[in-house]
Chain A
Amino acid sequence: MSVKKSEIAYISSLSKLKMEDAEMDNYTRQISEILEMIQQLEKVDTHDIEPMAHPLNMKQRLRLDLVTEENRRELYQKNAVVLEEGFYKVPKVIE
């Protein structure tokens, strides 16, 4: 199955990945090849087969909703490139 360049353009915008035109051509070709390989799955009879999301089919463990860690805001913020007065800074979103 081949995928259209317009589809790759749409998917890359959903994925928040900017792409040059030549890059888009390249991905269109490569993703078509990948999808072609994946197509083998179509031939398999999976009637009545339970989808497997997790290798051990375990239950989700929950913990009590208690505070276990102290606030380490300054430490965590050290990895941000731009901060202002203790806040993360992003481009303006409201005029």
Chain B
Amino acid sequence: MERYTLKNLVAMLRSRDISSHEILEMYIQRISEHDSSFNSYITLSQDVALEKSIQADRLIESGDPLPLTGIPYAGKDIFCTQGIKTTCGSKMLENFIPPYDATVISNLNNQGAILMGKTNMDEFAMGSSNETSYFGPVHNPWDLARSPGGSSGGSAVAVAAGLAPIALGTDTGGSIRQPAAFTGITGLKPTYGRCSRYGMVAFASSLDQAGILALTAEDTAILLESLAGFDPMDSTSVETDVPKYSELLNVSIKGKTVGIPKEFFDEGLDAESEQVFLDAIKVYESLGVQFKDISLPHLGLSVPTYYVVAPAECSSNLARYDGIRFGYRHDEIDDLDDFYLTNRQIGFGAEVKRRIITGTYVLSAGYYDAYYLKAQKVRQLISQDFKKAFQDIDAVMGPTTQTPAFKIGEKIDDPVTMYMNDIYTIAANLAGLPAISHPCGFVQNLPFGLQIIAPHFAETELLNLTHLFQQETDWHQKQPPDLNEA
């Protein structure tokens, strides 16, 4: 089974080697044949999608297609999609049908792309393994007993397993980059404010950012051109031009300076993983990149800082789920307070409740200064570490994760161990910086990811570096073994 890049599909459509309708039929066929092993989709929008593909073919026939006309994509089930169920991986929203589209969904639709389905995810994006989904865990195509990471695990698997050419995800603490690393694909978390959050179910609003899971940096660049942009409906959207990312991929990176923070090489990173990362660095060196050892002294405090800030924002954002206007509603309760308590007890899963309680605790009277205010100050220190570092370097590099994909069930009963999973990715969210993960080798026959973090709005830098790395290596082309036989 061949995995097609977005770029390939556009070329095939333009040269009339294939029609959009045929592409859609192919993916829908693949999903119905193979997704029972992965559980990567929650909802398919195949009827609407097939209908749209016929219109797309007419537009291509007319000779005036839009940049993404006829191209299918998958969207994480956190993005509101008009008329299509949006569950956010929760029983709470099991039957929720949004009356409007998220801006990022409209942006892609307006460029001709076709939404094929909504992908599985950790409940309300809270999790790093996809095991907190009400709709069951997602399985990693490299080893079905392993987790694909999370929370955008369904989107990552759909792309890695050839069930979508490209997918949208969200990243609050690593939820695009960690699953991309675990499944051997490329994942970009843009700068906070680069892509609209309007219509994206809120988890932690000062950290949430929509992004892309793709096979290549080139595909990521093409999609980002349509995805990014100012949105008056999102009060934190930033009014700044969207570069032509895809035209800046081949700029020479000779003479670029990249910092490697010593804090990434802690006791959690095993020797084999470290070696794979160091071998990848040699490729960059051969392209003329200069490396510098740096220190980001507060990086080690990212996880505790995040687990104050994110649950605090979560407890506030999730207060809206009362079961009255939408969401799970339990029948036959006479008392109003009991009604709220029961709807939320049954509608939310264990991890979501754990974070609501943690968040309410750190914001409660007597603890606010000690926890929340303190964490906001440490967040400032982490952000300043990056600002100082970027005075001398163009980007930061390190491994995306400490280990390759772990087994399903291995960490789910121990929240703190699970939280430590995002130790290398969280800092970029706290500082609002753009970051990418790309495949850089294998550890025990499982894909391993390299992360690059750049200054605010320097997505171009990330895509440029990754693209040139992908011209020299073929890690991103390796597909899960079973796919070759399917």
List residues of A whose CB falls within 8 A of some B CB: 3, 7-8, 11-19, 27, 30-31, 33-35, 37-42, 44, 46, 49-56, 58, 60-61, 63, 72, 75-82, 88, 90-93
* Given A17-B344, A81-B323, CB of A49 within 8 Å of CB of B415: no
* A34 engages B341 (CB within 8 Å): no
Query: For residue A14, which residues in chain B have a CB less than 8 angstroms away from its CB?
Result: 360, 364
Which of B97, B356, B376 sits near A78, CB closer than 8 Å?
Answer: B97
**Which 5 pairs from chain A and chain B are nearest by CB?**
A55-B432, A51-B376, A79-B326, A46-B377, A18-B341
* 9-residue interface stretch from B282-290, B367-375, B397-405, B463-471: B367-375
Mostly, the B contact residues are: helix
Interchain nearest-CB distance for A51 vs B (Å): 4
Query: For residue A91, which residues in chain B have a CB less than 8 angstroms away from its CB?
Result: 333-336, 338-339
Interchain nearest-CB distance for B316 vs A (Å): 11
What are 20 A-B interface contacts by the 8 Å CB criterion?
A: A14-B360, A16-B322, A16-B340, A17-B344, A17-B345, A17-B357, A18-B338, A18-B345, A27-B353, A35-B361, A37-B416, A39-B304, A40-B301, A41-B301, A58-B193, A75-B99, A77-B325, A80-B325, A90-B336, A93-B336
B130 within 8 A of A: no
Q: Looking across the interface, which residue of chain A has its beta carbon closest to that of B82? A: A75
Interchain nearest-CB distance for B394 vs A (Å): 20
Interchain nearest-CB distance for B130 vs A (Å): 20
* B377 engages A50 (CB within 8 Å): yes
* A49 engages B381 (CB within 8 Å): yes
B14 within 8 A of A: no
* B377 engages A55 (CB within 8 Å): no
Which of B342, B381, B429 sits near A18, CB closer than 8 Å?
Answer: B342
Q: Looking across the interface, which residue of chain A has its beta carbon closest to that of B375? A: A41
* A31 engages B354 (CB within 8 Å): yes
New A-B pairs, 4, CB < 8 Å, besides A53-B376, A77-B325, A79-B97: A27-B357, A31-B354, A44-B377, A76-B325
B27 within 8 A of A: no
Which of A30, A63, A76, A77 sits near B354, CB closer than 8 Å?
Answer: A30
What's the Cα separation between A39 and B305 when bound, in Å? 10
What's the Cα separation between A31 and B356 when bound, in Å? 11
What's the Cα separation between A34 and B375 when bound, in Å? 14
B358 within 8 A of A: yes
Query: For residue B236, which residues in chain A have a CB less than 8 angstroms away from its CB?
Result: 54, 56, 58
Interchain nearest-CB distance for A39 vs B (Å): 8
B228 within 8 A of A: no
What's the Cα separation between A81 and B377 when bound, in Å? 43
* A56 engages B456 (CB within 8 Å): yes
Interchain nearest-CB distance for A35 vs B (Å): 8
Interchain nearest-CB distance for A1 vs B (Å): 10
Query: For residue A13, which residues in chain B have a CB less than 8 angstroms away from its CB?
Result: 341
Which of A46, A80, A92 sits near B324, CB closer than 8 Å?
Answer: A80
Interchain nearest-CB distance for A62 vs B (Å): 9
* B431 engages A41 (CB within 8 Å): no
Query: For residue B344, which residues in chain A have a CB less than 8 angstroms away from its CB?
Result: 15-18
Which of A12, A19, A88 sits near B325, CB closer than 8 Å?
Answer: A88
